[in-house]
Structure formats: C-alpha cells, structure tokens
Structure 1
C-alpha cells in the first residue's frame, strides 16, 4: 500500500530526527523550552491516527 512507502521513508529519517531533537533539548532552557518549540513538538489528535490502506 501507498502508506507503507511513507512509513519506510519516515523510518529511514528516524535517526536524523532523533539526533536533531536531542540537540535541541540540550540547548539552554530558554531555547529548548520556548513556546515555539513546545508548540512544534506538541502531539495533535491526527498524530495518533493509524494510516489507511489508501
């Protein structure tokens, strides 16, 4: 299915994204906990939905 290709691409970027996220969280608190970053990484309802086969 088409969603599988997207999932595979996301999994291939997982390491890079994890490294980037950890670097951001290692910055001073005034940066790592600023409202812009907190909003960017906030889990939204659509993030929890499983992909369809379409």
Structure 2
C-alpha cells in the first residue's frame, strides 16, 4: 500500500531529480493514516494534497 502512494508521489523517471526527501516528507503521514485504518488511496491522496500546501 505505502509503495503505491510513494510511487504516485515520485516524479517520473525522466524528470529532473527533486532530491531523495520528497516522498519522505509525506511518508510519516501516510504510515500514521494507514495504521489508523485508512486504506483508500484516493483519501490518502486528497489528504496529501492538503498537507503539501
């Protein structure tokens, strides 16, 4: 599950490297929500959009 979210947040392989920490910034939030029972990728994506603002 977390691999799917991390892959969705990662830049395309041919894009300029944004640095190793970009998906890591959201990993703690995703892990916390997943452990709390949220398994909807759409819901996690919406929350990450809000968190990233």
TM-score range for the pair, normalised by the shorter chain length: 0.3 to 0.5
More helix by percentage: 1
TM-score normalised to structure 1 length: 0.34
